[in-house]
Structure 1
């Protein structure tokens, strides 16, 4: 018979092998191939809740959204780089895809999400995105995927000097699809981001008016590009509000940046918010039946030519 020490050693070895197998199964050694190409999703109607705070808290929204529509694909959109934006100010939207392409949204699910306090917005289908995928087999897959994928996205975007933002995570059919659009980026910003930016700009202007002769917010008033981290707390960096003609904004938005993306603070807010007002009127108008479709904005992003 085995003595207690030998038995403990065997149990420990079995436990270690089981843990190692679990980690490997979760995607520890899975190959990650980052590409520029077609997106993993078509145009979608997206039921979401917007939050401002550390990205580590987004799991609660994923669970809430999944509980309402367990058969629907979940999606998260992350707008800020926590290396440059304090955790409490990071912005994200999490929810479920109600419909994709030409498919119609289920009215009962639509009402269920609406009753639970979710808003609805449409995202367009774009022709080019930076994208990759990672296995979604266990809860650990999310942690491994986020920690392994974003550094590779950072390297890919910086090497090719692309303008790619915001960052989306789509959970469907056993995979986590990561993507960042290379065009029409403004269409992937939910209206609440616009409101937050307006409020912050008003606070900054009020703060600046109290300090005579002071520079406007020192280095924090200058735009900053995306700097991907090795955690989910990753997206695009915050920057200050500027009222600039759209053509000039597009040129400044991407040129000369080592990595992609600015926040909507560098867009013309009268134009941006005016277009969102039109969308919201269509989505929540006084017609007998709410329209689940919304027109998309003109192309705001720039697809830069890739290096060979």
Structure 2
């Protein structure tokens, strides 16, 4: 039966099927952000102090996935997530790079949330309100979005900072990701002021 079906198909039918497959693949890549046009700008990244809870560790940034999974397992995706990358991987050995992954907390913590933080050993810190950061927003729609974000955002940020005549040296301040701060996107930014207050206590001592 399969042979007969193939025999009855002509080249136009095959071309149509192949075309649909290719189109679907291209649309999926677009959905994941492969063709997203990056626009960097200097602006206020958020409007109030951010109270955060997090796990911190050392290691290659590419291995941060398990820490994201750990946080998701605890909070179930109910709280907006964030990540902070402390070291410039061009200057610090990959296995010595410090980073943190966690969630944004409400101003008032419930007894339940306090218990969850304590039982799981999460650290807490407050990121200050700032007026200026070098930043962009990138679509976060699938696991491939992270791959494209690394290439298109982090791979081009230093060049665009130089083009914008940003005085802060690239990599001299932490990079922060706010997940779903803009719905369906990750906001990536580097603070241009109060940079010392973005150094997590656990990192200032190491």
SS at match of 1:126: coil
Match among 102, 109, 112 for residue 105 of structure 1: 109
Match among 195, 199, 202 for residue 185 of structure 1: 195
Between Structure 1 and Structure 2, how many residues are aligned?
Answer: 193
Could you state the TM-score of these two structures normalised by the residue count of structure 2? 0.84
TM superposition shift of 1:142:
1.5
Instruction: Flag the 1:122–1:68 CA change in 2: closer, same or farther, 3 A.
Output: same
* Corresponding position: 1:195 with 2:205: yes
Counterpart for residue 79 of structure 1: 86
**CA RMSD, Structure 1 to Structure 2 (Å):** 2.1
Instruction: Flag the 1:33–1:40 CA change in 2: closer, same or farther, 3 A.
Output: farther
- Alpha-carbon separation, structure 2, partners of 1:98 and 1:144: 28
Counterpart for residue 177 of structure 2: 169
SS at match of 1:120: strand
* 1:66-86 C-alpha deviation (Å, 9 max, x unpaired): 222211111000011222211
Instruction: Flag the 1:41–1:152 CA change in 2: closer, same or farther, 3 A.
Output: farther
TM superposition shift of 1:105:
3.0
Contact 2:127 2:198 in 1 (8 A): yes
Contact 2:84 2:100 in 1 (8 A): yes
Counterpart for residue 139 of structure 1: 143
- Structure of higher RCO (CA pairs closer than 8 Å, 6+ residues apart): 2
SS at match of 2:102: strand
Instruction: Flag the 1:131–1:107 CA change in 2: closer, same or farther, 3 A.
Output: farther
Counterpart for residue 126 of structure 2: 122
TM superposition shift of 1:50:
0.8
Match among 40, 49, 65 for residue 46 of structure 2: 40
* 1:32-72 C-alpha deviation (Å, 9 max, x unpaired): 21111111352111111111001111111111112222111
- Give the structure with the larger strand fraction: 2
SS at match of 1:3: helix
SS at match of 2:28: helix
Counterpart for residue 73 of structure 2: 67
Q: Which consecutive unaligned segments of at least 5 residues does structure 2 have?
A: none
TM superposition shift of 1:151:
3.2
Counterpart for residue 3 of structure 1: 6
Counterpart for residue 50 of structure 1: 56
Q: Which consecutive unaligned segments of at least 5 residues does structure 1 have?
A: 197-308
Runs of 4+ in 1 over 3 A off after TM superposition: 4-15
Contact 1:40 1:177 in 2 (8 A): no
